[in-house]
Amino acid sequence: MSIDGAWEVTIDTPMGKQQTTFELASDGSTLTGTATSADESGPIKDGSVDGDGASWKVDITTPFAMTVTFTVEVAGDQMTGNAKAGAFPPAPLSGTRK
């Protein structure tokens, strides 16, 4: 599995669907990259890859400051998983490699 590349991701949050673009690159079990949404852009942190799965965190400031933890599975050019933002329940996500 290769998670490398640009991904268009939709997160189904309690505040509605949110669009984010991830630029991801793996090096062994380490994952690095950036996250870009309509409101902000920043680096991912604590990224890791394990087989078809991956996880990482993104610090956001909008609508308020918190860390969002992403846990995903990749199959070809499709990504599924969830995003856990602060005290909110996990929000399902899906994405497609650009």
Tens-place pLDDT, residues 40-77: 999 999 999 999 999 999 999 987 899 999 999 999 99
Rounded to whole angstroms, the Cα distance separating 30 from 44 reads 11
Please tell us whether the domain made up of 5-97 is placed in CATH 2.40.128.120: yes
What pLDDT does 15 receive? 82
In the structure, what pLDDT confidence band is assigned to residue 39 with cuts at 50, 70 and 90? confident
Q: Whole-structure pTM over 0.85, yes or no?
A: yes
* Contact predicate 1/52, CB 8 Å: yes
Strand-pair partners of 92: 82
| Residues 72, 97, 22, 88, Cα dihedral to 10° | -40
| The token pair that represents 24 in the structure block | 């991801």
| Domain range summary for the chain, segments of one domain joined by + | 5-97
